[in-house]
Amino acid sequence: MTRFGRHVCHALLLMALTACNSRTERATSSNGAAQAQATGSTATAAVATATTATAASASAVRANELGLIPVLEYHQIAPKEDRWVRTPAHFRADLERLYKDGYYLTSLHEIVSNRISTPAGKTPYALTFDDATEGQFRYLPGTPPKIDPNCAVGILEAFAKAHPDGGKNGTFFVLPESLFGQPPYAKAKLEWLVKNGYEIGNHTISHDGLSQLADAKVDKEIGGAVALIHTLIPNYAVRTLAYPYGLVPKNLTLVSKYHEAAFLVGSEPTVSPLSKNWKPLLIPRIQGIDSEFTRHFPFLTKNPAWRYVSDGDPLHFSVPDQLPNGMAGLAPKYVNDPAVIRYGSKSGDKS
């Protein structure tokens, strides 16, 4: 970014930062339907139309909503494969592989809010994109400009058209000073993403490692980025953060001050939000590269009892009596929750 560009962004930050907390509070307190529209989430609509799960229906699809959920992490989409680069062809292949293996593309908001509307028998997964690089969302020259079919958004749109039963979503963790590499389109791109069902997350202002910063600097990096995003999409609830380099600040209250959830770099699938091991400010992801696919997905294929399998009802949570050895149980607040459906021999369902 040019020095002039940085001065402009910092000026916007000074004007917007004072409004950040009040905007965040207003966004958080808005009604559910408005929030679903503002974040691109389908959770509210799904709740209104969902079929109520029963022990019998859960047993029929072997639902296990305590299972593991893959949250994939991408950076650049570009012609030459590298450590932080996925080619368009490989990204398309990733989507097709997941679709064929019974995964359904859902939103981070549904996962974090524990209102997962994935169809019964399917496993939810989420896509995340860090850094807001141009290969994630590129416009080609023209009037009006067209989305490059080889950028991440173009590929996702084509995938959703080809597989309307495969889900559609993606969260873009943006650096507000370098939004997708085409400055004249920064606002238009964010507005388009929100309008078309995608989500915007925070990746801080400067991409500094937050574990190395004093509290005041951490607050400026996180809150300042939210403020800058609000200069472009004022009423948007920025619910999530991706830690630059996966480095976590010492004071997590500075994260929860602005966000409902935060994401690490790589490592493994996340546990279910029902799990006693669920930590919403320390959610792991799987990097979208061959070695990580090979490391994690064959295990989930060979051990389907470890996968989160949806019962198709976002308001009820189906869990088999018999869990795999080593899988953590329900969080205390769910142990006696009437929304939890238990099935299997202990519950009298002879499945």
CA atoms lying within 13 Å on the CB side of residue 339: 12
Instruction: State the pLDDT confidence band at 247, using cuts at 50, 70 and 90.
Output: very high
256-303 pLDDT tens trace: 999 999 999 978 999 999 999 999 999 999 999 999 999 999 999 999
Sign of the C-alpha dihedral computed for residues 55, 49, 307 and 298 taken in this order: positive
Average pLDDT over residues 223-234: 97
Instruction: State the pLDDT confidence band at 305, using cuts at 50, 70 and 90.
Output: very high
Average pLDDT over residues 161-186: 96
**Percent of the chain topping pLDDT 90:** 81
Ordered structural domains, the chain, with CATH: 3-347 (3.20.20.370)
The answer to whether 127 and 106 have CB atoms below 8 angstroms apart is no
Average pLDDT over residues 197-222: 98
**Percent of the chain topping pLDDT 70:** 84
Q: Which of 34-38, 130-134, 198-202 has the lowest mean pLDDT?
A: 34-38
246: nearest Cα among 225, 234, 262: 262
In the structure encoding, which two tokens stand for residue 24, read together? 């965040």
Query: Quick one: pLDDT at residue 7?
Result: 38
Query: Quick one: pLDDT at residue 95?
Result: 98
- DSSP calls for 37-78: HHHT--HHHHHHHPPPP-HHHHHHHT-BTTSBB-EEEE-EE-
- DSSP calls for 218-274: HHHHHHHHHHHHHHHSTT----EEE-GGGPPPS-THHHHTT-SEEEEEEESPBPPTT
Q: Which of 38-47, 255-264, 281-290, 320-329 has the lowest mean pLDDT?
A: 38-47
**pTM score, two decimals?**
0.86
Query: Quick one: pLDDT at residue 266?
Result: 79
In angstroms, how far is CA 230 from the centroid of its own chain? 19
The answer to whether 196 and 40 have CB atoms below 8 angstroms apart is yes
Virtual torsion, Cα 35, 39, 44, 49, nearest 10 deg: 150
Predicted confidence (pLDDT) at residue 202 exceeds the cutoff of 90: yes
Query: Quick one: pLDDT at residue 51?
Result: 82
59-77 pLDDT tens trace: 999 999 999 999 999 999 9
Query: Quick one: pLDDT at residue 243?
Result: 98
Query: Quick one: pLDDT at residue 178?
Result: 87
Alpha carbon distances (Å) from 95 to 70, 155, 164: 13, 9, 13
